[in-house]
Structure 1
Amino acid sequence: MARKEYRPPPFSGKGGSKREQKESVSRVEHYVSASVGLVTVAGTVMLFGPMLLNTVQGFGVLSTTILVFVLVTLWIFVWIAIETALIWHMSRLAT
């Protein structure tokens, strides 16, 4: 018996129809949404910085670790939300 050779799906993200190209998100759009998420979190830190510091001071030595963990997690959640909204918007424009 001969083994079947693996063939990737016809759409690889680089070619395909114009509709398939519109539905995929480019690297630049990923970078922009990550940057927007980072700026959003930075703005939140500027607005609520003293409150955040007072909240984590009770943890003693781990306060900076907890603060960094919370801020990075917030950044990732905001980034995912922006990506989801971008993909949703692009799919609505493609139809």
Structure 2
Amino acid sequence: MTQPELTTPQTPQYPPPPSSNVGWAVVTVVFFWPLAFAAFSNALKVFPRWYNGDLDGARAASARARTLGIIALCLGGLFTAWCLASAFV
């Protein structure tokens, strides 16, 4: 008589969470702070959404935090260039 093989139940494999892009949120504080509120809000929504199974929402929040950081960096760079240009003219 043979014994049935014991198997472990398979747990679903979830993809790793997307990056929270908190670094880009910090960039918004340094270069253009009015965008920092939205950037940090989105960056802090990534892991709770991923944990609850909302993978698309987590990716969207991550992308939004990154986009706001890039916008802040560009605006800060433009403002700095304008200040330097007007100071040396």
TM-score bucket (shorter structure): 0.3 to 0.5
Normalised to the residue count of structure 2, the TM-score between the two structures is 0.46
Normalised to the residue count of structure 1, the TM-score between the two structures is 0.43
Larger Rg: 2
